[in-house]
């Protein structure tokens, strides 16, 4: 049996939401990150420390976004002058996230980065460091509009995705963030109306203080994972829903244990799935019958590939395999299963060695 995992301080879990999958996907052009491409899509994560990673892992949303894209087999090349983040769980560590930088500082450097790295896609989240006082916050919308214009003028064919900011603990700072966030969709729409390939991403409205943050400014690793789902959906046009393994509204746990840890997206994961009768059984509904991709977010610190057996509605088991990163670093591993229209159960049981289960991310199998 594996050793006891290191438990970090517990977070309060958010209440579970009810989703129905399998309805029509949102209208979209060709996905910014297609599954099949002769050369990898060049993607530049651009912003401040919430791109570089102010969380303990030091990768922000980049780690889980890369994992999600990898689970689909989408060829992506992250690009930028900075290289940071955990090796393994983040297989491509290049980016343009600069801790403490304002919109103006990104503006002063972005043209050189764009001409050097020539990204096809940019994920932009910037402005948190402009929220320190009323004067800089008030100037932020015009600065963001100018930055978007610079990016799209330098690379007219680039697909630019612009996110809102996470809320902050201090009431004055958060009031400025809320006011700035309110302007971003309009700024993006104005640029799109001028023929630019600019898209708004609500990446951060699902994060709540104090449960998802390491400090006033930075989402933790688990919260950044939730933001990564929204980035993934925007980039691919594939609707995706997360179900937390430790939340009783989503799953039933048998002969296994809830482990509190900040790297889990809901503040906890299910460990000790160690015995033949150990299981985590998810219950959810989908809108139509078909094959769905189940991405399991798991932690494996065994030093070798481990697995779970997974079955849908009592059918024959498939195997989902997890690379070994650590008990605190979580990776997404995918398996495709047939689901029924309406209610479904997806059951995880012990496979080879040991992996802890944080959540599953469910979507129709991507086709583009």
pLDDT of residue 56: 63
Nearest in space to 225 (alpha carbons), one of 44, 41, 59, 25 = 59
Distance of CA 41 to the CA centre of its chain: 18
Phi-psi sector, 252: left (phi>0), alpha (psi -120 to 50), beta: beta
Q: Is 312 helix (H, G, I), strand (E, B) or coil?
A: strand
Provide the whole-model pTM: 0.90
Tell me what percent of the chain is helix, strand and coil, each rounded to the nearest 5: 25, 30, 45
The residue written with tokens 């008990």 in the block is 327
pLDDT of residue 127: 96
Residues in the chain: 368
Nearest in space to 98 (alpha carbons), one of 108, 86, 90 = 108
pLDDT of residue 18: 35
The residue written with tokens 């139509």 in the block is 288
Distance of CA 180 to the CA centre of its chain: 22
Is the C-alpha dihedral spanning 354, 264, 61, 291 positive or negative?
A: positive
Helices (H), the chain: 49-52, 62-72, 103-117, 134-154, 171-193, 221-236
Distance of CA 321 to the CA centre of its chain: 20
- Determine the Cα–Cα distance for residues 72 and 259; give it in Å rounded to an integer: 28
pLDDT of residue 57: 73
Each residue's pLDDT expressed in tens, for the chain with a length of 368 residues: 333 232 222 222 333 333 344 444 334 468 999 999 999 999 999 999 999 986 767 789 999 999 999 999 999 999 999 999 988 889 999 999 999 999 999 999 999 999 999 999 999 999 999 998 999 999 999 999 999 999 999 999 999 999 999 887 777 788 999 999 999 999 999 999 999 999 999 998 877 766 777 777 788 888 889 999 999 999 999 989 999 999 999 999 999 999 998 888 888 999 999 999 999 999 999 999 999 999 999 999 999 999 999 999 999 999 999 999 999 999 999 999 999 999 999 999 999 999 999 999 999 999 99
133: buried, middle or exposed (CB in 10 Å: 19+, 13-18, 0-12)? Answer: exposed
pLDDT of residue 174: 84
Nearest in space to 269 (alpha carbons), one of 296, 302, 306, 309 = 296
pLDDT of residue 214: 74
């Amino acid at each position: 049996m594996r050793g006891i995992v290191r438990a970090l301080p517990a977070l309060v879990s958010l209440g579970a939401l009810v989703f129905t999958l399998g309805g029509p996907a949102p209208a979209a052009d060709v996905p910014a990150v297609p599954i099949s491409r002769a050369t990898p899509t060049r993607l530049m994560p651009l912003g401040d420390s919430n791109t570089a990673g102010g969380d303990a892992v030091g990768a922000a949303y980049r780690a889980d976004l890369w994992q999600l894209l990898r689970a689909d087999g989408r060829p992506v090349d992250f690009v930028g002058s900075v290289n940071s983040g955990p090796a393994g769980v983040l297989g491509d560590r290049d980016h343009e996230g600069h801790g403490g930088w304002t919109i103006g500082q990104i503006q002063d450097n972005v043209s050189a980065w764009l001409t050097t790295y020539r990204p096809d896609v940019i994920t932009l989240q910037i402005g948190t460091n402009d929220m320190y006082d009323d004067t800089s916050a008030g100037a932020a919308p015009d600065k963001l509009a100018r930055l978007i214009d610079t990016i799209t003028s330098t690379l007219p064919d680039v697909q630019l995705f612009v996110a809102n900011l996470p809320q902050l603990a201090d009431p004055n700072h958060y009031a400025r963030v809320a006011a700035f966030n309110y302007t971003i969709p309009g700024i993006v729409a104005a640029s799109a109306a001028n023929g630019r390939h600019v898209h708004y991403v609500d990446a951060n409205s699902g994060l709540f203080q104090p449960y998802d943050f390491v400090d006033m400014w930075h989402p933790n690793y688990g919260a950044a994972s939730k933001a990564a789902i929204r980035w993934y959906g925007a980039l691919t046009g594939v609707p995706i829903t997360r179900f937390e393994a430790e939340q009783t509204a989503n799953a039933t746990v048998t002969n296994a244990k809830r482990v509190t840890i900040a790297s889990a997206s809901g503040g906890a994961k299910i460990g000790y799935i160690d015995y033949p009768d150990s299981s985590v059984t998810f219950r959810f509904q989908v809108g139509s019958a078909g094959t769905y991709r189940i991405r399991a977010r798991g932690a494996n610190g065994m030093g070798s590939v481990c697995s779970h057996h997974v079955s849908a509605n009592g059918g024959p088991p498939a195997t989902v395999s997890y690379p070994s990163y650590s008990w605190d670093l979580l990776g997404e591993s995918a398996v495709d299963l047939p689901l029924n229209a309406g209610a479904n159960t997806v059951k995880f049981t012990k496979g080879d060695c040991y992996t802890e289960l944080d959540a599953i991310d469910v979507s129709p199998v991507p086709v583009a």
